[in-house]
Structure 1
Amino acid sequence: MTIVTTVDVLRHGEARGGARYRGITDDPLTERGWRQMYRQCGELHWDVVASSPLRRCCSFAAAWCGQQQAELCVDPAWAEYDFGAWEGLSADQIEREWPGALDAFYRDPERSPPPNGENYRQFNRRVQTAWDALLTAHAGKKILIVSHAGVVRSLLSHCLQLAPTAAFRIEVPQAGLTRFTAFDSADGRYLQLNYHRPG
């Protein structure tokens, strides 16, 4: 018998403060960000919603669950990558302070992390551990994860067996929705990417 679990991963919408490396910086959504997320979710329904604890994710997740009477699980494992000293800075600001460091990070995030930033391998490990636990706990259900671009890329890397640098080549727009299906049987787990839809 094969158990089929559908997992949608929603990146948060626009956050206050503009384009910057906010990582674990806890900026709220703008009004536009709220509209983006509601528009993306439309008439969809999920049995379980898992969310990053950061406000730009969990504020929407809590509101959606209240309206849809879905179960909400807030888990710090779904938080964004911690950019350390780059938190809150724009790409231009980072380049001025650490010339070439952004390019080095995107070429090899494990060997060239931001100063005081999260270990990239450990980041991927925490996301993948949370993913496996979620699929085990809610097998056969429809699941929504409300999270961040870095988490989406980590899951794309894990599910499609991509190198981290290859996942950086995939755009993850605000309020984008990525759907995976997990097929669990006695032979193991097969993961399929169904779509990667812009916000």
Structure 2
Amino acid sequence: MGCRVFLVRHGETVWNKDSRIQGQTDIPLSEKGVEQARALSKRLERLNFAGIFSSNLSRARETAAIIAGPHNRPVEVIPDLQELNFGDWEGMTMEEIRKEYASLTRAWWSNPLTTRIPGGETLAELAERSVRAIRSIIERYPEQQVVVVAHGGTIRSIVGTVLGLDLNQYWRLRQDNASLSIIEFYNWDKGILMLYNDCSHLSEGFICQ
């Protein structure tokens, strides 16, 4: 076995429920999000993990802390695992964004890698830092299992990079709240996607539709 990375998207927040762009705005878990995290924690409680890592945003840290509980392990915070900085779009719904930023919205959907949202970052910048974080982790734990709790955009950028996909199409990779994906790395250029966006630990009503 190489380094097996359990990638977890954080549980639901109120802004997720309202379909608002969160980005790096620090929104905590909702009650439903806490329950989602507990369900995933129960699924993972019998596994052995050499480390548990999280973005520094509270919705990821809270999810990671719930997962870490049964393992009696600290959560190591890595800021590079943050969500994409959506700048001026944060707090807005996509409908509001399309109305106020019509031309920029079209540019972003066609080429998010190089399109910069006012006050934000490009997808290429997110991919660079998220991949840097994952590479650092797998170098530290080349033959062990780890949990990494992050965000939809962060996980999409990691998975897309490992699979050699065109990241301008990264939005085609669905990421539900409290979903689990697994990549096994024998080395960086030999990552194998073993599981993606699995929500089988969540009961009906706890999966985003």
Q: So what's the TM-score if we normalise by structure 1?
A: 0.91
2:11 counterpart residue number: 13
Structure 1: which 4+ aligned runs deviate by more than 4 Å? none
Q: Where do 1:1-199 residues align within 5 Å? A: 4-17=2-15, 18-44=18-44, 45=47, 46-184=49-187, 189-199=189-199
Aligned partners of 2:69, 2:174: CA distance in 1, in Å? Answer: 30
CA contact (8 A) 1:174 1:198 kept: no
Paired residues, number: 194
Q: Spell out, residue by residue over 1:7-31, the C-alpha distance to the aligned partner (whole angstroms, 9 max, x if none).
A: 0110011102321110001010011
Aligned partners of 1:113, 1:60: CA distance in 2, in Å? Answer: 29
- Structure 1, unmatched stretches of 5+, are none
| % identical aligned pairs | 26
- Structure 2, unmatched stretches of 5+, are 200-209
Q: So what's the TM-score if we normalise by structure 2?
A: 0.86
- Distance change in 2, residues 1:79/1:5 (3 Å): same
Aligned partners of 2:100, 2:131: CA distance in 1, in Å? Answer: 32
Return the offset for 1:165: 2.0
Where is the strand percentage greater, Structure 1 or Structure 2? 1
Aligned partners of 1:189, 1:115: CA distance in 2, in Å? Answer: 34
Q: Which amino acid aligns with 1:190?
A: K
Helix, strand or coil at the partner of 1:197: strand
Aligned partners of 1:198, 1:19: CA distance in 2, in Å? Answer: 21
Which stretch of structure 1 is more off in the superposition, 97-106 or 12-21?
A: 97-106
Helix, strand or coil at the partner of 2:66: helix
Return the offset for 1:117: 1.3
Q: Spell out, residue by residue over 1:127-163, the C-alpha distance to the aligned partner (whole angstroms, 9 max, x if none).
A: 1111110100122111111000001111111110111
Aligned partners of 2:98, 2:125: CA distance in 1, in Å? Answer: 25
